[in-house]
Amino acid sequence: MIRCTQATIYFYMGQVSADVEEPKEAEKSLQSAIDILNLEPVNKYNISLRLHAHNILATVWSGRGDHDKAYQLLEKAKELHATYLHSKEPPPHSYDEIFMDEVLNNRFF
């Protein structure tokens, strides 16, 4: 759960960087979020964050004109989504729920 929390922070940093048109910082933060999430199996706590990070990073690459890289990231998100839908995992939590006391208490205690 700690890794998911850390990845969420990197995700938000990347999202803000993308919003203020700082693609280099956005790429760095979003890729860090993805790298951290890749250390854990896909689960209800991190699937939404994984999908959003891939989608925003694809937007960053598209804005840079690298449509092939953007397409690869979108295909990866699509694959992750399809795999999760076909798994027996419970419904996913939204990535912004990671900091809610209820989720943290249920996970840590």
pLDDT confidence band for 25 (50 / 70 / 90): very high
**DSSP classification of residue 96:** G
Q: What is the pLDDT, as a whole number, of residue 102?
A: 47
Q: What is the pLDDT, as a whole number, of residue 62?
A: 96
Q: Are 98 and 5 in contact (CB under 8 A)?
A: yes
* Mean pLDDT (whole number) for 81-105: 73
Q: What is the pLDDT, as a whole number, of residue 18?
A: 96
Half-sphere exposure of 68 (CA within 13 A, CB side): 0
Q: What is the pLDDT, as a whole number, of residue 109?
A: 39
| Calpha distance 24→75 (Å, rounded) | 22
pTM listed for this prediction: 0.83
Greatest Cα pair distance, the chain, in angstroms, is 46
Q: What is the pLDDT, as a whole number, of residue 89?
A: 81
